């Protein structure tokens, strides 16, 4: 069983008429995702490759019953776009946009958690893929295959690496989730771990973290208290110098906290299989499944 998206997903793309939105929106449709609408203010009433375009999310939801939004909106306007989707009753917003100011991310997080039941994935994330069912985001579905291993990661490219390593060994995935690496993510490791733990068709979990923040330590506490399924983990950034931001806005070590070693120790102490090399993910999962 997939989590968050499946055959019932009805996708709306905010920014479908832009180059990136169009490219990835129609790749998602080609995979089998039900792309029902696009939203671009000022272009309502037009049509793009058979997909109706609306001026607002509310109009699109009313006309198409869209339940999932993918956001390809420039950073200065992305926060308002996400909140518009939440206010219109969208169940899941997948924010691909990179470079949203942290104070805007905090404003969005507070708005969503206090005023709606919408789940936000991202910002600055690759989206999610439920192999054989639906794809919402920029993940390459060609490297995935349906199966029973859940994958969750802060890093987009390492998500792809993990999925590829599994597929090469014939190990399929139930869902592959990229939560993004920004300081204020809408969905955390703990949120996704809870969904995988509750999913009767996920047998094992791959969790990929990175330096900065304490999300992985929080995940370790949650695993100890709530997760009975085997967890295989890799933490990126072992050699990163302290005090220097490394790619993701959230990947910064300060005051001796947020180091890769601290995260690895926390996860190892609660029984997770912790790896030094991402190319070992497939064989490690193979071993725990045995």
What's the pLDDT band for 239 if we cut at 50, 70, 90?
low
What's the pLDDT band for 233 if we cut at 50, 70, 90?
very high
Q: Are 220 and 272 in contact (CB under 8 A)?
A: yes
* pLDDT score, position 212: 86
* Domain range summary for the chain, segments of one domain joined by +: 10-121, 140-289
* pLDDT score, position 258: 78
Total-model pTM: 0.94
176-216 pLDDT, tens digit each: 999 998 989 999 999 999 999 999 999 999 999 999 889 99
pLDDT of 249 over the 70 cut: no
Tokens of 279: 């190319």
| CA angle in degrees (0–180, nearest 5) for 161-164-165 | 85
The residues, any chain, with a CB within 8 Å of residue 112's CB and separated by 6 or more, are 82, 83, 86, 93, 118, 120, 186
Averaged pLDDT, 225-254:
76
Does 10-121 carry CATH code 3.40.50.720?
yes
The residues, any chain, with a CB within 8 Å of residue 28's CB and separated by 6 or more, are 11, 35, 70, 134, 135, 136, 137
Q: How many CA atoms lie within 13 A of 190 on its CB side?
A: 14
Q: Which residue has the tokens 């969905």?
A: 187
Dihedrals φ, ψ of 130, to 5°? -110, 95
pLDDT of 252 over the 60 cut: no
Q: Are 174 and 3 in contact (CB under 8 A)?
A: yes
11-54 pLDDT, tens digit each: 999 999 999 999 999 999 999 999 999 999 999 999 999 999 99
* pLDDT score, position 243: 62
Q: How far is CA 159 from CA 93, 105, 216, 262, in A?
A: 19, 23, 16, 21
Same topology between domain 10-121 and domain 140-289: yes
Residue 273's beta-bridge partner residues?
232
Question: How high does pLDDT run on average in the chain?
Answer: 94
Averaged pLDDT, 101-121:
96
* pLDDT score, position 2: 82
Averaged pLDDT, 54-83:
98
126-180 pLDDT, tens digit each: 999 999 999 999 999 999 999 999 999 999 999 999 999 999 999 999 999 999 9
* pLDDT score, position 240: 65
The residues, any chain, with a CB within 8 Å of residue 261's CB and separated by 6 or more, are 238
Report d(CA 265, CA 134) in Å as an integer.
35
Q: Are 104 and 46 in contact (CB under 8 A)?
A: no
More confident residue, 241 or 179: 179
Question: What is the edge-to-edge ordering of all strands in the sheet holding 34-39?
Answer: 47-48, 51-54, 34-39, 10-14, 68-71, 92-95, 119-121
Percent of the chain scored above 70 by pLDDT?
93
pLDDT of 251 over the 70 cut: no
pLDDT of 56 over the 70 cut: yes
What's the pLDDT band for 238 if we cut at 50, 70, 90?
confident
Tokens of 91: 């169940």
Catalytic residue list contains 248: yes
The residues, any chain, with a CB within 8 Å of residue 147's CB and separated by 6 or more, are 131, 166, 171, 172, 173, 174
Pick the CATH number of 140-289 from 3.90.1150.10, 3.20.19.10, 3.30.70.980, 3.40.50.261: 3.40.50.261
pLDDT of 1 over the 80 cut: no
Kindly name the residue from 24, 103, 164, 248 that is annotated as catalytic: 248
């Amino acid at each position: 069983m997939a989590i968050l998206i499946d055959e019932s997903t009805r996708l709306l793309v905010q920014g479908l008429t832009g180059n990136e939105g169009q490219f990835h929106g129609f790749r998602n449709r080609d995979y089998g995702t039900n792309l029902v609408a696009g939203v671009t203010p000022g272009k309502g009433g037009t049509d793009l490759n058979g997909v109706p375009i609306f001026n607002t999310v509310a109009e699109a939801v009313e006309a198409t019953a869209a339940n999932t939004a993918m956001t390809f909106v420039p950073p200065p306007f992305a926060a308002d776009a996400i909140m518009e989707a939440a206010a219109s009753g969208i169940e899941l917003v997948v924010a691909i946009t990179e470079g949203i100011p942290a104070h805007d991310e905090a404003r969005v997080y507070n708005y969503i958690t206090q005023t709606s039941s919408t789940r936000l994935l991202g910002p600055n994330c690759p989206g999610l893929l439920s192999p054989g069912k639906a794809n919402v985001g920029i993940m390459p579905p060609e490297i995935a295959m349906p199966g029973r291993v859940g994958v969750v990661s802060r890093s987009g490219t390492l998500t792809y690496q993990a999925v590829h390593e599994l597929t090469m060994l014939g190990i399929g995935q139930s869902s592959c989730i990229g939560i993004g690496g920004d300081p204020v993510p809408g969905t955390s490791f703990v949120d996704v771990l809870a969904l995988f733990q509750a999913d009767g068709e996920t047998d094992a979990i791959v969790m990929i973290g990175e330096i900065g923040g304490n999300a992985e330590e929080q995940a370790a506490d949650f695993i100890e208290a709530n997760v009975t399924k085997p967890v295989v983990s890799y933490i990126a950034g072992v050699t990163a110098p302290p005090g220097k931001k490394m790619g993701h806005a959230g990947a910064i070590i300060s005051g001796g906290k947020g180091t890769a070693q601290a995260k690895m120790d926390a996860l190892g102490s609660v029984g997770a299989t912790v790896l030094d090399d991402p190319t070992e993910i497939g064989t490690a999962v193979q071993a725990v499944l045995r």
